């Protein structure tokens, strides 16, 4: 399968749930973004590694890396392999005694380990095609913001929990609005609703 390399763009706190975060991955040679909702502990593990701030005592991912280093297990890459019901699935591609082994992993854990090993992050092209969000031009973002503000108050209130009441075009505009506001958690929910309609 065709693999596309991603890089970590940033980590944002959820707007609708204060204890949720989104790690935003970006296409290395493209404009698509992939927001993945993660928990607070996973966000901390990723942020600590990104900022190169080792804690006083090793976190779980630091311990895991130490064990792998001790037994000469090398993490060569991670691959986001699937998306089911809004959940991303990943694999650790490890080399041990010259042989390649694939290990199932939560995507947040895989990303945290990828940073610590300095290895690349990949996603299958078909998954990025259906779940990636393309950055829009500034003019399009402004138009989306104007049209989004014209929605009735009642629909905006209902939109917080139910995206099924909107047309496909309206959802695309709301997606652009969420991206311009850097509300990646909301963007991920809207993207999931769009994906449901394409099946």
Q: Return the domain boundaries, the chain.
A: 3-131, 136-198
Neighbours of 50 (CB within 10 A): 15
What's residue 79's pLDDT? 98
pLDDT at 196: 78
Backbone φ, ψ for residue 177 (5° rounding): -60, -45
Query: Which residue's structure tokens are 């609703």?
Result: 193
For 3-131, which CATH class? Answer: alpha beta
Q: How confident is the model at residue 135 (pLDDT cuts 50, 70, 90)?
A: low
Give pLDDT, residue 168.
Answer: 79
> In angstroms, rounded to a whole number, what is the distance separating the alpha carbons of residues 87 and 68?
27
**Residue 21 clears pLDDT 50, i.e. is over it:** yes
User: For residue 162, what are its two tokens?
Assistant: 């139910």
What are 91's strand-pairing partners? 79, 104
Rg (CA), the chain: 18
Structure token digits, residue 119? 């290895």
**Lowest-pLDDT range of 38-52, 73-87, 176-190:** 176-190
Helix (H, G, I), strand (E, B) or coil at 87: strand
Is the pLDDT at 67 greater than 60, yes or no?
Answer: yes
Contact 25, 6 (CB under 8 A): yes
Mean pLDDT score of the chain: 82
pLDDT at 13 over 90: no
Map tokens 């901390």 to a residue: 44
Q: What share of the chain is helix, strand, coil (3-state, %, to 5)?
A: 45, 30, 25
Euclidean distance between CA atoms 37 and 57, whole angstroms: 26
């Amino acid at each position: 399968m065709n693999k596309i390399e991603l890089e970590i763009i940033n980590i944002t706190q959820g707007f609708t749930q204060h204890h949720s975060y989104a790690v935003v991955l970006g296409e290395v040679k493209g404009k698509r973004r992939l927001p993945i909702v993660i928990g607070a502990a996973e966000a901390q593990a990723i942020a600590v590694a990104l900022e190169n701030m080792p804690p006083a005592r090793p976190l779980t991912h630091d311990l895991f890396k130490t064990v792998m280093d001790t037994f000469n297990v090398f993490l060569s890459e991670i691959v986001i392999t699937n998306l089911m019901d809004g959940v991303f699935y990943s694999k650790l591609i490890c080399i041990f005694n010259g042989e390649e082994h694939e290990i199932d992993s939560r995507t947040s854990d895989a990303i945290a380990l990828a940073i610590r090993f300095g290895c690349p992050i990949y996603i299958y092209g078909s998954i990025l095609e259906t779940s990636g969000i393309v950055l829009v031009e500034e003019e399009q973002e402004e138009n989306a913001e104007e049209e989004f503000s014209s929605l009735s108050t009642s629909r905006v209130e209902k939109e917080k929990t139910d995206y099924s009441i909107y047309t496909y075009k309206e959802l695309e505009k709301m997606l652009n609005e969420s991206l311009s506001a850097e509300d990646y958690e909301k963007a991920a929910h809207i993207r999931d609703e769009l994906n449901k309609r394409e099946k």
